[in-house]
Amino acid sequence: MPNALNISQLKKSYGSLEALKGISFCVQQGDFFALLGPNGAGKSTTIGIISSLVNKSSGSVEIFGYDIQRQKNIAKKHIGLVPQEFNFSIFEQVMQIVVNQAGYYGIPRKVAVPRAEELLNKLGLWEKRSSVARTLSGGMKRKLMIVRALLHNPQLLILDEPTAGVDVETRREMWDFLTQLNTQGTTIILTTHYLEEAEQLCKNIAIIDHGEIIQNTSMKKLLAQLDHESFIIDTRDEINELQEVEGYSLQKIDNNTIRLDLHKDQNLNNVIAKLSEQDIQIKSMRNKANRLEELFIRLTKK
């Protein structure tokens, strides 16, 4: 069974700027894959090359075993793309945009229309089917691009920041939708700057920075690398003085807040007991940052 995506030694230069410096990674069929990285890392460039919108400088890309250059058309049929920036005609109606896209894949209208209806309904856009795209809200435009990408039943769906500017509820709807799609067999590649999203949805991950892959592993293994976690503790009463607790890193932030850095070999019970001894009552406790976020910042900070 070929991989859904094989990227090998992929390079891209924009003039003197080397946006991709020879990256290689692969995505297995059925995976839900996160491609993460800071702004300008090269995520959209990579996705652009995969989907034939950007010309590569060198290297190779295969989609389900088909080379994107030598077997262009068959490779293209396997991909559905939700780009980072809106790229539909704002003067056209939702239904037209979606059905036309199907036409470009050779799908006749009588097949496309019912399929469009089903997808628009699923993503809550059916009411807007006759609206001109210009009049949609930002979140609706994102959903429109998801529907458009799925009309030809692609086996690999690539989403470049699909949840940017999308409200919490809609984001959850999209997550459910994508999870369902993935369960039914569609391979998904996702880029996002919401790391809790990637942590929740994705099985495998590549982190790209300055045009190079700096991590490529499973989400579980990556998170296991995290050797300590930071907690924020809110206290019930004001603390005057915080005594040190041997072996633990505790830091008073203000009169009601303590920061605790916990190594993964340590446990919370001890430190809570020690705090109780000091007569400090814990009102609530939370992670300082999302776990993936902490790792991400550490990995990309140089």
Partner 1 sequence: MNAHEQFIAFYTILRKEIARFMRIWTQTLLPAVISITLYFIIFGAFIGSQIKPIKGFSYMQFVVPGFIMMAVIQNTYGNVVSSFFGTKFQKSVEELLVSPTPSYVIILGYCCGGMLRGLLIAFLVTATSLIFEPLTIFHPLTTVVFVILTAFLFSLIGLTNAIFAQKFDDINIIPTFVLTPLIYLGGVFYSIELLPNFWQKVSLFNPVLYMVNGFRYGFLGVSDIEVWFALTMLVVFIVIFFVINLIFITRGVGLKS
List residues near partner 1 by CB under 8 A. Answer: 14, 48, 51-55, 72-74, 76-77, 79, 81, 83, 85-92, 96-97, 100-101, 103-108, 148
The tokens of 149 are what? 């990408």
42 binds, options partner 1, ligand ATP, Mg ion, none, Cβ within 5 to 8 A by partner type: ligand ATP
The C-alpha atoms of residue 188 and residue 29 are separated, in whole angstroms, by 9
CB of 102 to ligand ATP, least distance (A): 27
**Of residues 14 and 86, the one with the C-beta less far from ligand ATP:** 14
The C-alpha atoms of residue 134 and residue 131 are separated, in whole angstroms, by 8
Alpha-carbon distances of 239 from 251, 252, 276, 283, rounded to whole Å: 12, 9, 12, 13
CB of 156 to partner 1, least distance (A): 12
249 binds, options partner 1, ligand ATP, Mg ion, none, Cβ within 5 to 8 A by partner type: none
The tokens of 197 are what? 């999203």
CB of 244 to ligand ATP, least distance (A): 42
Residue 32 near residue 202 (C-beta atoms within 8 A): yes
Q: How many CA atoms lie within 13 A of 77 on its CB side?
A: 9
**Of residues 54 and 272, the one with the C-beta less far from Mg ion:** 54
Closest CA to 62 of 10, 21, 110, 126: 10
The contact mask relative to Mg ion for 34-73 (x = CB under 5 A, - = no) is ---------xx-----------------------------
The tokens of 275 are what? 């705090």
State the sign of the Cα–Cα–Cα–Cα dihedral 108, 155, 41, 194. Answer: positive
Among 4, 37, 76, 148, interactor with ligand ATP by CB under 6 A = 37
| Burial of 147 from C-beta contacts in 10 A (0-12 / 13-18 / 19+) | buried
**Of residues 66 and 296, the one with the C-beta less far from partner 1:** 66
74 binds, options partner 1, ligand ATP, Mg ion, none, Cβ within 5 to 8 A by partner type: partner 1
Q: How many CA atoms lie within 13 A of 210 on its CB side?
A: 5
39 binds, options partner 1, Mg ion, ligand ATP, none, Cβ within 5 to 8 A by partner type: ligand ATP
The contact mask relative to ligand ATP for 40-69 (x = CB under 6 A, - = no) is xxxxxx------------------------
**Of residues 112 and 262, the one with the C-beta less far from partner 1:** 112
Q: Which range touches ligand ATP (CB under 6 A), out of 14-22, 177-185, 264-272, 291-299?
A: 14-22
**Of residues 116 and 190, the one with the C-beta less far from ligand ATP:** 190
Got the DSSP string for 91-129? TSBHHHHHHHHHHHTT--HHHHHHHHHHHHHHTT-GGGT
In the complex, the residues that contact ligand ATP under the rule CB under 6 A are 14, 17, 19, 37, 39-45, 84
